[in-house]
Amino acid sequence: MPDPVARMVLPPSIRTADFISDLHLSRELPRTAAALAEYLRRTKAEAIFILGDLFEAWVGDDSRTLPFEASIVDMLAGAAQRQPLYIMRGNRDFLMDGPLFEATGAVELPDPVVVQALGISNEPVLLSHGDALCLEDTAYQQFRAQVRQPEWKAAFLAKPLAERQAIGAQMRAASRAHQLRAEPVTYADADASLAQAWLAVAGARTLIHGHTHRPQSERRAEGWQRHVLSDWDCDHALPARAEVLRWANEGFTRLPPDQT
């Protein structure tokens, strides 16, 4: 992680902030997209943070005008007019770039970033998608290092949109096969030593991340805590899975989206 880490200060007028991640939106999951739309219309939060993997795949900002993607852009633009909307890239949508942020009015968040909310707490929080912390998945870390290079991105984005979509679909199929082979217990989690080192650099004691799809809030004996966000699936999961982590004066609360 960069040292010093990026910092952001929310003004005192913001007294409630929501965190969500891993919606993995695609046109195959219309109910999940509808649940997000309903949540964005309803929430009383004064700031919304989406910590990566908003999209199941994002193969370049020129896809923002495709029918499904355009409907999500409109949804986000509406939300960004009501309250500040912050979006971090995840491993699925790391190619989100300037044109998408401009079209939505969302603010781009670096990964990781320290956020201090003057209206909520004296304690800053460290935000990350979480994939960079999953050190045990060495094959993924090699892949990550490769695809985040400017040269790789430029070469990929130079391909026609249809070809990028096909490559993206192949990568997701390979990733699903990898996950099926890995035992659930050994499927990589955030590395606790690295998380603690990041927090030390950040001067924070609270980490919020997604990516692992293993929602929990954990207090560590070493004196720090982490909140792992839930993924969303309102199409195939029974019961539908969707959760919001709310940060307010009284601390952190996990809420169903329809109670925000």
Q: How far is the CB of 191 from Mn ion (least distance, A)?
A: 15
State which of positions 91-110 bind Mn ion (CB under 5 A).
Answer: 91
Bridge partners, residue 113, by sequence: 6, 127
22 versus 69: smaller Cβ distance to Mn ion? 22
Amino acid found at 163? E
Alpha helix ranges (H) inside 43-89: 67-82
**CA torsion, ordered 169, 172, 176, 177, to nearest 10 deg:** 70
- Rounded Cα gap, residues 83 and 143, in angstroms: 35
Percent helix, strand and coil across the chain, each rounded to 5?
35, 20, 40
Q: What is the secondary structure of 116-156 as a DSSP string?
A: EETTT-SS-EEEE-SGGG-TT-HHHHHHHHHHTSHHHHHHH
164 versus 211: smaller Cβ distance to Mn ion? 211
Q: Sort 221 into a burial class: Cβ within 10 Å, 0-12 / 13-18 / 19+.
A: exposed
Q: How far is the CB of 92 from Mn ion (least distance, A)?
A: 6
Amino acid found at 133? L
- Member of 84, 90, 124, 168 binding Mn ion (CB under 5 A): 90
Q: How far is the CB of 14 from Mn ion (least distance, A)?
A: 26
77 versus 194: smaller Cβ distance to Mn ion? 194
207 versus 248: smaller Cβ distance to Mn ion? 207
Q: How far is the CB of 212 from Mn ion (least distance, A)?
A: 8
211 versus 246: smaller Cβ distance to Mn ion? 211
Give me 168's structure tokens: 């993206």
Task: Note whether 211 binds Mn ion by CB under 5 A.
Answer: yes
Query: Which segment (33-41, 45-53, 215-223, 251-259) binds Mn ion by CB under 5 A?
Result: 45-53
Nearest partner of 95 among 143, 150, 29, 135, judged by Cα: 150
Q: How far is the CB of 22 from Mn ion (least distance, A)?
A: 6
118 versus 145: smaller Cβ distance to Mn ion? 145
- Member of 25, 36, 48, 53 binding Mn ion (CB under 5 A): 53
Residues at the contact surface with Mn ion, assessed by CB under 5 A: 53, 90-91, 211
